[in-house]
Copies of this chain bind each other. A is one copy, B any other.
Amino acid sequence: MGNLQQLIDDVHGELRERLGEGKIADYIPQLAKISPNKFGISLATTDGKIYNVGDSSETFSIQSISKLFTLTLALGKVGDGLWSRVGREPSGTRFNSIVQLEHEMGRPRNPFVNAGAIAVTDVILGEYQPKEAIAEIVRFVQYLANDSSIIIDKNVANSEIEHGDRNFALAHFMRSFGVIKHSVDEVLGVYFHQCALAMSCEQLAKSGLFLAASGKNPINGYNVVSSLRAKRINSLMLTSGHYNGSGDFAFRVGLPAKSGVGGGILAVVPKTASIAVFSPGLDNNGNSLIGTIALEIIAQRAGWSVFG
């Protein structure tokens, strides 16, 4: 697979001229000030190789990609009991919709919409005190990526809290139904910190590689999750990983993936590779516009699709 470097080099080169398309997330100043021309790709294969191009070593705010990590962590702590707290169905609504919660007694549809990820954080708080929970999440992501340099951007975390009314609404709403058990301030304190994890494409690709390798990180040999759980996490990414654009992403790219409004996407090619892309311009559903196109082309040229 030595031509993989060529593949990502080509895609990076071809799409560079389209940088600037899409809309950069601007609900907090820290995200709004990112250059629209940032563009990185990292591709890690299950045989332990990694390929990089562009701004692949530059850290950015992973935002909702963190939902993948906290889900994995929470499943490790409480097992499938987690599913009594959050569903496994695509939402059919925007990432921050509250309508569904009112219609379904405060139970979020899946762990990748905001409400669901907040509920997952609440589950983690059943195991740790708030500060420990944040530390544990950081440690877990460092462990996944095999990189102890990963940190949280405190400015982003604080800014999220300041502009977090929509998430406060979701959390209080769920708490009124008993779905959230800890104080909203504690839960969102942790939640906003996990969203503010700063990671590079290379770190992200490495951290997601266990999902391509039956739950085992091929770089360091750690058994992260069972093979069955890895498959199931992949299924959730495929049906719900791109909010209300998940069906379209599956149609076009054909790979499980999780996006974040910081412009990152982490995709999984089962048994083969993980791919992280970063380009901050977003489409109407809040997913990286150029990042999605890059993944679409890479998957097509490499013949990677879970669908045939």
Interface set of A (CB-CB < 8 Å, partner B)? 87-93, 97-103, 109-110, 165-166, 168-173, 175-176, 184, 211-212, 214, 227, 230-232, 234-236, 238-240, 244-248, 250-251, 254, 256, 270-271, 305-308
Bound CA–CA A16/B247 (angstroms): 35
Chain B residue contacts of A109, Cβ below 8 A: 92, 247
- Are the C-beta atoms of B98 and A308 separated by less than 8 Å? no
Instruction: Take A169-B172, A214-B308, A306-B307 as given contacts and tell me if A247 and B251 are in contact as well, using a CB distance cutoff of 8 Å.
Output: no
Residue of B nearest to A231 (CB): B307
Bound CA–CA A195/B308 (angstroms): 27
Q: Determine how many copies of this chain the complex contains.
A: 4
Instruction: Take A97-B102, A250-B238, A308-B212 as given contacts and tell me if A175 and B184 are in contact as well, using a CB distance cutoff of 8 Å.
Output: no
Residue of B nearest to A253 (CB): B235
Bound CA–CA A232/B254 (angstroms): 8
Residue contacts A-B, CB under 8 angstroms, 22 given: A89-B90, A89-B244, A90-B90, A90-B92, A168-B169, A168-B172, A169-B171, A173-B173, A227-B308, A231-B308, A232-B254, A235-B251, A236-B247, A236-B250, A238-B238, A239-B246, A239-B251, A270-B305, A270-B306, A270-B308, A271-B308, A306-B306
